[in-house]
Amino acid sequence: MEREVRVRFAPSPTGPLHIGGVRTALYNYLFARHHGGKMILRIEDTDSHRFVPGAEDYINEALAWLGIGIDEGVREGGPYGPYKQSERRDIYREHVKMLLDADRAYIAFDTPEQLETKRSAVANFQYDASTRMEMTNSLTLPADEVKRRIDAGEQYVVRFKIEPGRPVEVNDLIRGKVTIKSDILDDKVLYKSADDLPTYHLANIVDDHLMKVSHVIRGEEWLPSAPLHVLLYEAFGWNDTMPQFVHLPLLLKPDGKGKLSKRDGDRLGFPVFPLEWHDPASGNISSGYRESGYLPEAVVNFLALLGWNPGDDTEIMSMQDLIEKFSFEHCSKSGAKFAFEKGKWFNHTYLQNVDDAQLAQMFKPVLREHGVNPNDYSDSYITRVVGMVKGRINFVKDLWDQCAFFFQEPESYDPKAIKKRWSAETPAIMAELIERLNALEDFSSAAAEQPILDWITSKGYHMGNVMNAFRLSVVGECKGPHMFDITELLGREETIRRIRLAIERIKADEPAV
RNA sequence: GGCCCAUUCGUCUAUCGGCUAGGACGCAAGAUUUUCAUUCUUGAAAGAGGAGUUCGAUUCUCCUAUGGGCUACCA
């Protein structure tokens, strides 16, 4: 009996979605699409203290940018809504009552302060079968006392009553069977009266069940609480439809130790967020992949390969390719260090496949940043420029360093190049070059190159010196695309103007020795 | 501390008992070029350690070590 594949990505809106979360979302999406199933986006805002305004919008925008489509969610709607947990209070209350009535849970009045004291007094204190009879709860208090306290408005929590001494099995699609003893689990808080909200554990199980989730695909940090979740399914009598669990290996810090955290980005100089994030409380800005010039396709491809492989050597894959090939059989079990160097390479590779005209459009904002008005140039000019230099960039913004000279005359001339390529005779040769360029009938690259090279050879000049002095005059450094392609684009007038300028300036800059 | 998970080049990874251990990023060298890049070619680079099972272990089991996660009225 095939169950419809329904998966969910369930972030909590406590800040920007970080790249590890993005990967979890991606794997959920790939799995869902691979099986023709549904992808649900559920907002888990059960911690009222940690709510951050703007975080939910950020999540939506980030997933949309990456092309991770959502079938059911807060914005999309769907048959099992609401998809935001703070709007499902009635449902949780009802389910808490079911557990209470079935004697699978109990009410506890111990305050956080009391528990804190207990923990510092008793080493390894755990609220469980071995200690619950010493605490202040509905198991130790008379029923009327419990009622009196609640009626008096005393705050309480509902705890899951874990029965000790039995093994709990979790069947994980990546790791296989994991068994733990129920004794190590504590009587988890499922609901807090203070904000009339459940905790993650309860909300998660109830929602996954009600939303008919078939596979729970989440980070490895949830593996230790998976047995608790299994027990909850049992307590509700939902064993038959319990989802398959899949715990993904974590994304680790590239340098030292531990899992990749939100602060690592700024520390190590690469984004850990898909989009730039402006923290509403601190005003801090964290960089994002989008703003750093990454293409979403490159980010998706790169992320997909951090913890999964297609089973062969293929590396460049579109979303469609990934969907077709994705399976948990090729997911790795161990955490992956976040090697952002390879991310650059992916971006480079994807950039090469971007159409020149489109790349030109993407480059326009960068031009503006550097004080160049793109409207002063034709689209075809910018398109030809980017087409000429795109092979050497990793990011759109790198284009500027490679082709600024197409938009402005050199501001200075590379001193090392002057030393190597500009001698006392050079100005005279450059003056001669100007004559030759003027004499050219056709200034196009193909037509201009041979006559000029012939001239250099016939005069017995040193090819490298003349050409590099030429380049130095026009570009300002000894770098860039083919020389005659540059001059063709720049045009005769501008080319000659720059050589004249160089003759003046470089002479002036060089002190007589 | 307790519990759980993991362990192949610097990094991401392939290998589902037969290996001269493959690929990619990065790195190095060479080729090409009037420059810098790109590109191409080549190279260096790995099975944590110890037992066991087996004709044969990177692959299976155990121990040790190391790394990671969890251990909240956070997710």
**B35 C1' – A417 CA distance, angstroms?**
10
> What pLDDT, on a 0 to 100 scale, did the predictor assign at position A104?
96
Residue A509 has pLDDT above 80, yes or no: no
CA–CA distance, A502 with A508 (Å, rounded to integer) = 9
Residue at shortest CA–C1' distance from B7: A334
Same domain, A227 and A367: no
Q: Token pair of A433, please?
A: 């070059």
Length A314 CA → B45 C1' (Å): 22
Domain assignment of residue A406, given as a range: 357-509
Q: Report yes or no on A181 lying in a domain.
A: yes
Rounded-to-integer distance, Cα A303 and Cα A305, Å: 5
Closest nucleotide to A471 by C1' from CA:
B35
Q: What is the 3-state secondary structure (H, E, C) of A133-172?
A: HHCCECCCCCHHHHHHHHHCCCCCEEEECCCCCCEEEEEE
Give phi and psi for A469, each to the nearest 5. Answer: -65, -40
> A50-54, A186-190, A237-241 — which is least confidently predicted?
A50-54
The first and second tokens of residue A277, run together, are 């994030």
Q: What pLDDT is recorded for position A256?
A: 64
Specify the pLDDT at position A139: 95
Q: How far is the CA of A254 from the C1' of B58 (A)?
A: 25
Which residues does residue A288 pair with via DSSP β-bridges, in sequence order? A273
Q: Which of A248, A276, A293 is the last residue of a domain?
A: A248
pLDDT at residue A510 above 70?
no
Q: Which region among A107-116, A210-219, A264-273 has the lowest average model confidence (pLDDT)?
A: A264-273
Would residue A227 count as lying in a domain?
A: yes
Strand B bases, protein C-beta under 7 A: 1-8, 10-15, 22-26, 34-39, 67-75
User: Based on the domain organization, do A237 and A103 belong to the same domain?
Assistant: yes
| Å: A174 CA to B59 C1' | 18
Judge whether A251 and A335 are in contact, CB under 8 Å: yes
A285 within a domain of the structure (yes/no)? no
**Smallest CA–C1' separation from A227: which nucleotide?**
B4
Q: Tokens 């402005």 sit at which residue? A: A408
A253 CA – B26 C1', rounded, Å: 17
Look at residue A481 and tell me if it is in a domain: yes
Distance in Å from B33's C1' to A215's CA comes to 56
**A276-CA/B35-C1' distance, Å:** 38
pLDDT on residue A258? 84
Average pLDDT over residues A322-338: 94
- Pick from A266, A265, A277, A210: nearest CA to A56: A277
Mean pLDDT throughout A354-358? Answer: 93
> Distance, angstroms, CA A334 to C1' B57?
22
Distances (CA, A) of A392 to A2, A212, A327, A349, A387: 50, 49, 35, 10, 10
pLDDT attached to residue A512: 44
Please, are residues A271 and A262 in contact by the beta-carbon 8 Å criterion?
no
Order of strands across the sheet that contains A197-198: A105-108, A157-160, A189-192, A197-198
- Does the predicted interface ipTM exceed a cut of 0.90? yes
Q: Does some domain include residue A311?
A: no
What confidence category does residue A449 fall into, taking pLDDT thresholds of 50, 70 and 90? Answer: very high
Contact of A304 with A25, CB cutoff 8 Å: no
CATH number at residue A373: 1.10.10.350
Whether A237 and A367 share a structural domain = no
Tell me which of A198, A228, A248 is where a domain ends.
A248
Relative to beta strand A285-286, strand A277-278 is antiparallel
Which of the pair, A91 or A504, is modelled with greater confidence?
A91
Nucleotide nearest to A421 (CA to C1'): B35
What rounded mean pLDDT belongs to chain A? 93
Would you place residue A513 in the very low, low, confident or very high pLDDT band (cuts 50, 70, 90)?
Answer: very low
- Whether A442 is in a domain gets the answer yes
Mean predicted confidence (pLDDT) in A130-153? 94
| A315 within some domain | no
User: Cα(A162)–Cα(A235) distance, rounded to whole angstroms?
Assistant: 10
The nt closest to A453 (CA vs C1′) is B34
At which of A248, A277, A312 does a domain end?
A: A248
On the question of pLDDT at A511 being above 80, the answer is no
Confidence of residue A423 (pLDDT cuts 50, 70, 90): confident
Say whether both A120 and A237 belong to one domain: yes
CATH of the domain at A183: 3.90.800.10
Nucleotide nearest A312, CA–C1', reads: B14
**A99 within some domain:** yes
Count of domains for chain A: 2
Average pLDDT over every residue of A192-209: 95
Nucleotide nearest to A11 (CA to C1'): B75
A107 touches A141 (CB < 8 A): no
- A397 among known catalytic residues: no
Which residue has the least CA–C1' distance to nucleotide B1? A124
pLDDT surpassing 80 at residue A1: no
A100 and A243 part of one domain? yes
Per-residue pLDDT reduced to its tens digit, A369-407: 999 999 999 999 999 999 999 999 999 999 999 999 999
Give the whole-number percent of chain A exceeding pLDDT 90.
80
Indicate if A363 and A491 belong to the same structural domain.
Answer: yes
Q: One of A118, A262, A344, A364 is an active-site residue; which one?
A: A262
Clarify whether residues A115 and A235 are in a common domain: yes
